[in-house]
Chains A and B, each alone.
Chain A
Amino acid sequence: MTPPTDRTPKDKDRRYWLDDPRNVSKVFWTLCLICLLLFAADALYDKKVHFAFEAWFGFFGIFGFVACVGLVLAAKELRRVLKRDEDYYDR
């Protein structure tokens, strides 16, 4: 038995639902499922659009996904050029 003084505070030990990687996976797959349903939803209603390309099936979903992947990959490349040490301006 450990002496009481060595014990970490109660909330430090507490396991949260998200601490379990399996639950994080559950969140991820739920998100995938929602996306799938939203993608399919395009078949169920009459889309009111201003531009012809908006009416393409799943346009907004695909656009959002591609835009974000593109954004992150581009920003990652940008980092090669722009990144400096934290104290760059303090030196």
Chain B
Amino acid sequence: MIGSIPPGLVLVLGALVAPVLPGRLRNLYLLALPVLGLAGLIGLEHGIYGAFEVFGYQLAVVRVDKLSLLFGYIFHIAALLSVVYALHVTDRVQAVAGMVYVGSAIGAVFAGDLITLFVYWEGTAVASVFLIWARRTERAYSAGMRYLIIQVASGVLLLAGAILHVAETGSLTFDRMGLDGLAGTLIFLAFGIKCAFPLLHNWLQDAYPEATVTGTVFLSAFTTKLAVYALARGFAGTEMLIWIGATMTAFPIFYAVIENDLRRVLAYSLNNQLGFMVVGIGIGTELSLNGTAAHAFSHILYKALLFMSMGAVLLRTGTIKGSDLGGLYKSMPWTTGFCIVGAASISAFPLFSGFISKSLILTAAAEGHYTVTWLVLLFASAGVFHHSGIKIPYFAFFAHDSGIRCKEAPINMLVAMGITAFLCIAIGVWPDPLYALLPYPVDFAPYTTTHVITQLQLLLFSALAFAVLMRTGIYPPELRSVNLDFDWSYRRLLPAAAGFVMAYGRPTRERLIATAERRIERFIARLYRHHGPQGPLARTWQTGSTALWVAFLLGIYLILYYV
């Protein structure tokens, strides 16, 4: 903490000054904020800070322990990298929104009570939508609106759950709560929406690809990982999460294979990666929770890197459709290289970050004898390599030459991608510093002969499958299309149902309105009769008769008193 300003708030308050600063100075200032915030975390003792009492309830604005610190570190690092990536942007709205968003997410992971968590939770929702709206297109506006409604709904559920939780337990402390009782269920749902559980997931694939080039990089890091943190804190060892997580790893990859918008492909694979973390939370052992925390850390970096590389492509070519791209390695060799590092990391190639974090979760699933879950995770691991590891770099940078020749990405983007790629490799090669940050002591060696060889077999045979399908022409081509997902239910089905009701319910509606109007007219007429100019209650009374009435009432009172 800096002085007595809680972590996160430094960035939120700091962001408010940003718009008045001129260009260069603003960039410098925006770079300094996350650095300052990170410096404030170093050497911070575990414990509760900023505790105070409101109406007899104990609030704890800041709770520092290994879990909150780990997420605090990576959120600051991701913020710094995102700022570097966005240095060429002159839009002040994005500068402020990005920083308030990051600050809120950081504040939320340090929140020690449910009310503080709620405030920051809504902060992330409201600030982040501006990163979508800043695209300034009709599509982005509607996607942002849908995103905001769903995010705020998550916050409302959280608040309702928090209030019930206080009523049930008398405490506001945010700790392990479990699913028994309505309070726990509501809070679970609130977290589940933000974590993109199956059927609650579609805001992610809907909104993230519509955000600005730099906005998506910000968005990819914080909202969903905040939810992962909250689930790990509140619902570790909840068995239902194993099934939810396994479903999340598997079903988005089918969509990823046939999706044309490459940033949407990444959104689907983001959903799939969250599934691994959720499974880790559900298993709930020290090994699996370590796995979730480690995977969140490395995932934030490689996912940001992948979104950065696709953002650079979108910036330079004006499109991000797989059907229109190809052959860009000739124009953007550096971006291609960085993208491949991100792809290798998400695919968990040995020596890249995903390898040393995902294996903790898979090993935990195997040790707990969750055979089906383990097989689903293995399938998803092969699948993620297939769509994120190969499809993304292949269709953007290789495949058939689209003939597009453009400039390499701006220097600030290359620097951001370079640092992120370096971190992805560094964590993969040298995992011990990350392992030291995990919530529980780590007794795990990722680089065993069995593990390295079996992982390479899985991945390279997946690559072989891709190559064979490509050469035989079986692989489905990239087509300009949209694929129906769950958002269809609220973008098409619900409006259609509402239209149906409006059309066929018209006679009933008109009858209802007519009845209501008649009643109101009658009511007004009655009101007029009693209170109107001729009404008995509107007449002015003479003083004499009033005095008589008062005397009469007093008389009755006296009689009653003596009786």
Contacts and interface: CB of A to CB of B under 8 A. Distances in A.
Interface residues of A, number: 52
Contact of A63 (B367, B378, B480): B378
Interface string A51-81: 1001000111111110111011111101101
A16 B383 CA distance: 30
A11 B405 contact: yes
Nearest to A65: B461
Nearest to B465: A68
A62 B139 contact: no
B548 to A, nearest CB: 77
A82 B484 contact: yes
B454 A67 contact: no
Nearest to A81: B484
Contacts, number: 153
B74 to A, nearest CB: 30
B330 A11 contact: yes
A42 B369 CA distance: 23
Nearest to B405: A12
A69 B258 contact: no
Contacts of B471: 28
Contacts of A74: 254
B405 A60 contact: no
Given A72-B475, A72-B476, A67 B462 contact: yes
B460 A35 contact: yes
Contacts of B330: 11, 14, 16
A76 to B, nearest CB: 5
A41 to B, nearest CB: 6
Contact of A86 (B255, B331, B480): B480
Contacts of B463: 31
Interface string B445-483: 000111001111111111111111101001110011111
Contact of B383 (A54, A62, A67, A84): A67
Interface residues of B, number: 56
A7 interface: no
Interface in B59-81: none
A71 B461 contact: no
Contacts of A71: 253-254, 257, 379, 382-383, 386
A22 to B, nearest CB: 14
Contacts of A26: none
B527 interface: no
Given A68-B462, A69-B469, A45 B257 contact: no
B366 interface: yes
A35 to B, nearest CB: 5
Contacts of B379: 63, 67, 71
Nearest to A18: B398
Given A11-B405, A69-B465, A60 B457 contact: yes
Nearest to B260: A86
A41 B464 contact: no
Given A28-B467, A69-B465, A76-B258, A50 B459 contact: no
Contacts of A84: 481-484
B456 A85 contact: no
Contacts of B511: none
B491 interface: yes
Contacts of A20: none
A83 to B, nearest CB: 5
A34 interface: yes
B476 A76 contact: yes
B297 interface: no
Contacts of A39: 457
Contact of A67 (B382, B475, B479, B491): B382
B267 to A, nearest CB: 16
A86 B478 CA distance: 12
A84 B491 CA distance: 14
A48 B450 contact: yes
B482 A64 contact: no
B484 A63 contact: no
Contact of B458 (A42, A47, A60, A78): A60
Interface string B336-376: 00000000000000000000000000010011010100100
B454 A60 contact: yes
A69 to B, nearest CB: 5
A89 B383 contact: no
Given A71-B254, A82-B258, A38 B483 contact: no
B401 interface: yes
Contact of B457 (A28, A61, A82): A61
Contacts of A81: 484
A6 interface: no
A91 B388 CA distance: 31
B497 to A, nearest CB: 17
14 contacts: A11-B331, A28-B467, A50-B363, A64-B459, A67-B378, A72-B386, A76-B476, A78-B483, A79-B483, A82-B483, A83-B482, A85-B481, A89-B491, A89-B492
Given A12-B405, A61-B457, A67-B462, 14 more contacts: A16-B330, A35-B461, A38-B461, A42-B453, A49-B450, A50-B374, A51-B366, A60-B457, A64-B459, A76-B258, A78-B483, A83-B479, A84-B481, A86-B480
Interface of A: 9, 11-12, 14, 16, 18-19, 28, 31-32, 34-35, 38-39, 41-42, 45-51, 54, 58-65, 67-69, 71-76, 78-79, 81-86, 88-90
Closest 9 CB pairs of A and B: A68-B465, A50-B366, A64-B461, A75-B257, A60-B457, A61-B457, A64-B458, A61-B461, A65-B461
